[in-house]
């Protein structure tokens, strides 16, 4: 197969591409606008493959997208391109409306035109896989219950509302036009190459620099944590084996309060990079990373609990996460310790400046 992956330079998209190139015989066309969160360095280990191609294209640019489809003739689309940070959506929702709604609409229309031009066998084999989030469901009331594929939508933030809208568009294009679509809704991802604005990499890197570790409210928000490489395996299973018109929820079976996650990271750093080691030259008065934890005003409209019932993908496609939270978070912390230069280049913006040919100050 030749898979067109939008947002392939992002956190989850790059994991999907690394999985496809390293674990399958398929080819990948990476379509990415390269916003602040798109980093081609996350693909350095596979970008030299003759089965990989990159096109710097905005999914809102219909003409350029049509050129990509005409040039590469994909067998499937995996749509991951999205603005995804809730805090950014609260401060500036316009980009989320543009990319997540208008961009998805544009991609659907370009894909529909391309799909209509295929012969009957090509149309039958083609797939459009839209990758979404469990945040479209809102939050769960109380400590019990799980999101299923039948849970009603109740998004709380501009981000989740824009993703809910894109989900509805994909379902409408399948029902109205007969396009062979699939949708997946995943829980919180973590792992290597995660942009440092998100909770886990932010805590790791702040701690190593002796900075405060901000936790919203009392840190009681519960999330189901999914190791990104497990997610990549699941997405590939869905696009190659999933039933057309179906939705699959993907979760890690790892519910943790945010404060638990932060304490776990601090304990691992105490073990792997103790204060005063070559990793962490911190303020003299600090003895343990836990001392850096500070509680800040909660985010507006902050959902309390997400939890996924991933039984459908397990029963239909045989997928289960391989990593527990304990094994995955240890791998993640160790990866950041081993790749501090990648982190530095993201934090200081040099990964973008070099791509744009801009000299560092």
Question: Which residues participate in catalysis according to the annotation?
Answer: 134-135, 159
DSSP H helical ranges for the chain: 11-23, 62-72, 86-91, 94-96, 104-116, 120-125, 158-177, 199-208, 228-241, 258-272, 311-317, 325-338, 340-347, 350-356
CB atoms within 10 A of CB 185: 24
Phi and psi at 346, nearest 5°, equal -70, -45
Give yes or no for a contact between 158 and 88, defined as CB atoms under 8 angstroms apart. Answer: no
> Which residue carries 């956190």 as its tokens?
11
Measured CA distances, 154 to 135, 150, 157, 170, 312 (Å): 8, 12, 10, 18, 21
User: Within its chain, how far is the Cα of 320 from the centroid?
Assistant: 18
- CA dist., res. 73 & res. 118, Å (int): 10
Q: For residue 280, which of 199, 210, 202 has the smallest C-alpha distance?
A: 210
Left (φ > 0), alpha (ψ -120 to 50) or beta: where does 156 sit?
alpha
**Cα(334)–Cα(94) distance, integer angstroms:** 36
């Amino acid at each position: 197969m030749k898979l067109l992956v939008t947002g392939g330079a992002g956190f989850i998209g790059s994991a999907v591409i690394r999985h496809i190139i390293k674990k399958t015989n398929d080819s990948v066309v990476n379509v990415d606008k390269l916003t602040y969160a798109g980093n081609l360095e996350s693909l350095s280990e596979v970008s030299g493959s003759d089965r990989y191609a990159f096109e710097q294209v905005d999914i809102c640019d219909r003409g350029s997208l049509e050129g990509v489809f005409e040039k590469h003739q994909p067998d499937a689309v995996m749509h991951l391109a999205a603005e995804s940070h809730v805090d950014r959506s609260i401060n500036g929702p316009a980009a989320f409306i543009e990319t997540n709604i208008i961009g998805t609409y544009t991609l659907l229309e370009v894909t529909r035109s391309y799909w209509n031009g295929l012969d009957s066998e090509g149309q039958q084999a083609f797939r459009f896989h839209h990758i979404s989030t469990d945040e479209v469901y809102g939050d769960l009331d109380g400590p019990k219950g799980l999101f299923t594929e039948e849970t009603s939508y109740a998004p709380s933030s501009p981000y989740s509302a824009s993703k809910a809208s894109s989900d509805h568009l994909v379902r409408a294009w399948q029902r109205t036009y007969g396009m062979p679509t699939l949708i997946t809704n995943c829980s919180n991802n973590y792992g290597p190459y995660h942009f440092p604005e998100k909770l886990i990499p932010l805590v790791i890197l702040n701690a190593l620099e002796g900075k405060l570790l901000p936790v919203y409210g009392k840190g009681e928000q519960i999330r189901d944590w999914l190791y990104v490489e497990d997610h990549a395996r699941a997405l590939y299973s869905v696009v190659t084996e999933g039933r057309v018109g179906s939705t699959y929820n993907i979760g890690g079976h790892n519910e943790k309060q945010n404060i638990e996650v932060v304490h776990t990271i601090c304990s691992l750093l105490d073990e792997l990079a103790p204060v005063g080691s070559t990793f962490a030259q911190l303020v003299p008065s600090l003895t343990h990373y836990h001392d850096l934890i500070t509680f800040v005003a909660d985010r507006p409209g902050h959902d309390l609990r997400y939890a996924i019932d991933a039984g459908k993908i397990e029963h239909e496609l045989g997928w289960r996460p391989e990593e527990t939270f304990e094994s995955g978070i240890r791998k993640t912390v160790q990866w950041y310790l081993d790749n501090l230069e990648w982190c530095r280049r993201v934090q200081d913006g040099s990964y973008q400046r070099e791509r744009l040919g801009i000299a560092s100050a």
